[in-house]
Amino acid sequence: DVKVTQSSRYLVKRTGEKVFLECVQDMDHENMFWYRQDPGLGLRLIYFSYDVKMKEKGDIPEGYSVSREKKERFSLILESASTNQTSMYLCASHGRLGEQYFGPGTRLTVT
């Protein structure tokens, strides 16, 4: 089975802090994704990566950056956290037939 893990299930940070969310997959997938999930808005794509050191902006990249130094690891960075970034963050790894495999999510609260 594909396994996607995220570094934290719950995280509380203060406004202005730098926040790192880590995601690791064990299936040697090339494509990885970061989404945020908010009530009534579904999943919105923040960034995705199709190879090591490669990244593409999704629908809502403002306030975020990403890092992909190794194939199995894709990090989401909030340079200066703000309260409107309080959300559930989901990482996904892309299978060869179009399906995506999701991690358990990180619920981030910015106070």
DSSP 8-state assignment for residue 72: T
Chain position carrying tokens 């890092």: 67
Give the N- to C-terminal CA distance of the chain in Å, as an integer: 37
Contact between 55 and 68 (Cβ < 8 Å): yes
Q: Using the rule CB under 8 A, is 107 a contact of another protein?
A: yes
Contact between 91 and 102 (Cβ < 8 Å): yes
Q: Among 34, 105, 108, 110, indicate the residue that binds another protein (CB under 8 A).
A: 105
Q: Using the rule CB under 8 A, is 28 a contact of another protein?
A: no
Report the site for another protein in 30-59 (rule: CB under 8 A). Answer: 31, 33, 40-43, 45, 48, 50, 58
Q: Among 53, 62, 69, 98, indicate the residue that binds another protein (CB under 8 A).
A: 98
Count, residues in the chain: 111
Q: Among 1, 28, 62, 97, indicate the residue that binds another protein (CB under 8 A).
A: 97
Amino acid at 63: G
List contacts with another protein (CB under 8 A).
4, 9, 31, 33, 40-43, 45, 48, 50, 58, 90, 92, 94, 97-105, 107
